[in-house]
Amino acid sequence: MTVATAPALLDLKGDFPGLAGDWAYLDTAATSQKPFAVIDAIARVYGPDYATVHRGVYERSATMTLRFEEARATVARFIGAASPDEVVFVRGATEGINLVAQSWGQRLAAGDRILISALEHHSNIVPWQMLCERSGALLDVAPLTDDGRIDEDALIAIIRPETKLVSIAHISNVLGGVADVRRIADAAHSAGALLMVDGCQAAPRLALDMAALDCDFYVLSGHKLYGPTGIGVLWARSDILESMPPWQGGGAMIETVTFEKTTYAPPPGRFEAGTPHIEGVIGLAAAIDYVESIGIDRIHAHEAALVAQARKALAGLNSIRLWGPEDSAGILSFTMQGVHPHDIGTILDEAGVAIRAGHHCAQPLMNLLGVPATARASFGLYSSPRDVERLVDGLARVSCIFGVK
């Protein structure tokens, strides 16, 4: 990339009160900092605007209900859904995957197969293991390429007539590789299988279009998208949602209730039992508005430039091993010879640099890589070249302390 074509880097730290002071926050893949726009939106919900939704006939409740459903429409537009009715609000991607496993998964039987990849987050492994234990279905695992991507050729070769579902990460939360979702969707559908996509790391940095991806389920978590914790999205094609039974009972998900029989609301209400996370939904919509005001393509280009800067700087250190593909999206995992990642994280924290150190809820991947853990620097739209410089300086201090070169 020449200077003439290099994208202008973003300078947005001032929008994030959590970044006040001299702090290099490089743990956005775990959870993002929140802009004033989101915090203010939540404060308004809890303050002068507060009322319940879908229940009251008084004006404030009706107004809040309207805002709540407008937020659903905002999410639908952001991900390219055909209709807001395809958007189910859940507590996060983990709950979205569990919802599918417990509702749609009721149709699986002994001998059916579910296919995942070797780099999946525990949330995209454990629910399927539990489903297999209940149903007698079998779990298949696709390998990785040498540079840490899903080996899509191998994955497609594993798909067979018994495969009912393929479930993969759009972007790995450890290695940062981007999957070719459409290619995998085409292969799954050709075999009569459905495709679930974990979009937690993709939603903050890639333009999403459910029709173009042609997947069947897509999940994301609001707190990774500069929104609140405790709110997420399950998107599914409307015909699939219509065929799925409810997974929780209670208020809001019903049509009629008698002691003899209950009938259920159509989707998405069927899957949203109880009083919803009103402030979370409104805060998520505010986060999406904020991201869209900047531009998702600008955000992706900004993060790509920072990853390239970090990879170039760290590649010159013999003691550092970089994991994942060269074009990893917003995420850079590494290890240092002779130093545990927890020690790296602790020493960097003393220098005001926050990274993640551990197995990143991907223990099978760590076993495959042959390491107990990695250190992970992950970038957001508020990250800066100075953050990368401080990371590199901090790692030089780590190497000095431990006597490695």
CA–CA separation, 104 and 51 (whole Å): 33
CA–CA separation, 335 and 369 (whole Å): 11
What backbone phi and psi angles, to 5 degrees, belong to 259?
A: -65, -20
CA–CA separation, 267 and 175 (whole Å): 35
Q: How far is CA 345 from the centre of its chain?
A: 23
Q: 233 near 272, Cβ under 8 Å?
A: no
Rg (CA), the chain: 22
The two tokens of residue 389 are 């410089």
Q: How many residues does the chain have?
A: 405
* 177 secondary structure, DSSP code: P
List the catalytic residue out of 132, 200, 361, 400.
361
* 151 secondary structure, DSSP code: -
E strands, 289-350, are: 320-323, 331-336
- For residue 353, give every residue at least 6 positions away whose Cβ sits within 8 Å of its Cβ, in sequence order, or none: 24, 26, 387, 390, 391, 394
E strands, 213-358, are: 217-221, 232-236, 254-257, 262-264, 320-323, 331-336, 353-354, 356-358
Active site residue 361: yes
Catalytically active residues, by annotation = 361
